[in-house]
Amino acid sequence: MLAPKILVIPGSLHVGSHNGRLAALAAKELALAEAGVTRISLADYPLPLFDAEMTAEVGPPQHAVQLQRMLEAHQGVFMTSPEYSASVTPLVKNAIDWLSRTRGRGEPTYGAFKNKVFALGAASSGPGGGVRALLALRQILELGCGALVIPEQITVAHAAEAFDDMDNLKDESARAALKTMARRLVELARALA
C-alpha cells in the first residue's frame, strides 16, 4: 500500500512561532503514521497581495505556481494558523487566495483543493487555542474552495506554556488529539493515493 504524501504548512513566519512548533510536531506524528511528509515555509513562496486583475493580465506570480504544484503533489495537507482578530492571518488567507486562482490550462478554479484532504491546527497564547481562526479557516477551505476538511483538529491554548523543553506538548489530551488527527488525515489521504 502506497504511503500518502502529506504537505505541512505552518501559517506563521515568526521564528519560534507556536504554530511552527505545532506544525513540526504534526509532521512527526504524520511520519509515525506512515505518511511521506513535506514541511514547507510560506517564506519560501513570497506572494504579493492577491490581485485578480494582475492575474488576468500577466498570470500568477511564479511562487504561486510553485506553491500550487507543491499542493498538487500531495494527497493531504496539515495547515496551522495563528488567530488574528478572531480569524486567520493575512498570510494564510493570501496564500489560499493565490492557490484558488492559480491553475494549469483547462483546470477549474479551486482545482488544487479537489481530491485532497485537509486537517487544521492552531496554537495561541490565549485560552481559546486559536479555535476561532480554525472556524474561519474551515469555512474558507470547505465553503470557499470546496476542500474536504476532516472534523478532527488540534488547538493548543496558552501556547507559551504548552510545550516542554523538547518541543513536545505537555498536555496528554492535546497529544492524543494530535495523534488522532494525524492518523485520520493519513487514513483518508491513503485512500486518495
* Element at 132 (helix H, strand E): helix 131-139
Whole-structure pTM value: 0.95
Tens digits of residue pLDDT in 170-179: 999 999 999 9
Q: Give the closest residue to 169 by CA, choosing from 27, 21, 39, 40.
A: 21
Q: Where are the domains of the chain?
A: 5-192
Q: What is the mean pLDDT of the chain?
A: 94
Tens digits of residue pLDDT in 141-168: 999 999 999 999 999 999 999 999 999 9
Q: How many CA atoms lie within 13 A of 72 on its CB side?
A: 15
Give residue 115's identity as a one-letter amino acid code: N
Q: What are phi and psi of 135, to 5 degrees?
A: -60, -45
Tens digits of residue pLDDT in 14-55: 988 999 999 999 999 999 999 999 999 999 999 999 998 888
Domain 5-192 class, CATH top level:
alpha beta
Q: DSSP per residue over 46-99, as a string? A: --PPP-HHHHHHH---HHHHHHHHHHHT-SEEEEE---BTTB--HHHHHHHHHH
DSSP bridge partners of 155: 122
